[in-house]
Chains A and B, each alone.
Chain A
Amino acid sequence: MLILTRKLGENIRIGDDVKITILDIKGGQVKLGIEAPPHISVHREEIYERIREENRRASEVPPQLLREIAGAMRAPKKQRPRAH
């Protein structure tokens, strides 16, 4: 891992196209500005972990439970009087 120390307002370049600017440092938080071309996706690491977790949970859905929910969705909905 490359470790660099930067001050407020300074930048890091990754390749020719990606520029990261230190915009703000407050307490334990750093605000970064990221300029990158559209083909480079930039996401917080947590979103990958959360989607991974949802995928794992999805792979463990018991088909029997889903069947019950699906059955309830297909059931004809009761007509309710509507206020005007």
Chain B
Amino acid sequence: MNVRTREWGTLEVGEERLVHCPEGLLGFEELRRFALVEIEDCRPFVWLVSIEDPEVSFPLADPRFFQEDGYGVHLSPTDEQRLDLRAGDSVAVFVVVTIDPHRGATANMRGPIVLNTRTRLARQVITYGAGLTLRQPIRSNQETPIRAAQPAATRA
């Protein structure tokens, strides 16, 4: 299907990239249908693009970029039910990325988005865990967190 976006124009998105969030995301409860889009020069990040509002998209990342020692999400029976999770299903876990002026890209490790790859149902869940923060900087082999250069004066 075609998905209109402000940033990338109209994108052709296959069914296998669609994501349905029946409850929306916190603060964006009215948006339910999304597409998971890979933009070549944004790898390893992916974008969760709203199908209903071309102005809204969220950068997501694999939690392993932010949590060296692995990252576990405990799903409650309600989570499993909402995702229609059955034996044999696999889930994909994403963390929502923001950019902090001092710490560069950070991820919200406390509110991951869990996707059932069979049903394409997704839900933002709340997690607890020692050391998990809402703004976890990217882990990297470099000495300092990766920071963006000064914002360009003009948008590409």
Known contacts A59-B28, A64-B152; decide if A69 and B96 are in contact (CB<8 Å). Answer: no
Q: Are A58 and B104 in contact (CB under 8 A)?
A: no
In this assembly, does A26 line the interface, its C-beta being within 8 Å of a C-beta of chain B? no
Q: How many residues of chain A get a CB closer than 8 Å to chain B's CBs?
A: 32
In this assembly, does B41 line the interface, its C-beta being within 8 Å of a C-beta of chain A? yes
Q: Are A66 and B59 in contact (CB under 8 A)?
A: yes
Please report whether the interface of chain A is mostly helix, strand, loop or mixed according to DSSP: helix
**Of A51, A56, A57, A61, the contact of B111 (CB 8 Å cutoff):** A51
Interface residues of B (CB under 8 A from A): 7, 25-28, 39, 41-45, 47, 56-59, 65, 76-78, 81, 96-99, 104-105, 108, 110-111, 124, 126, 134-135, 138, 140-142, 146-149, 151-152, 155-156
Q: How distant is the Cα of A56 from the Cα of B55 in the complex, in angstroms?
A: 12
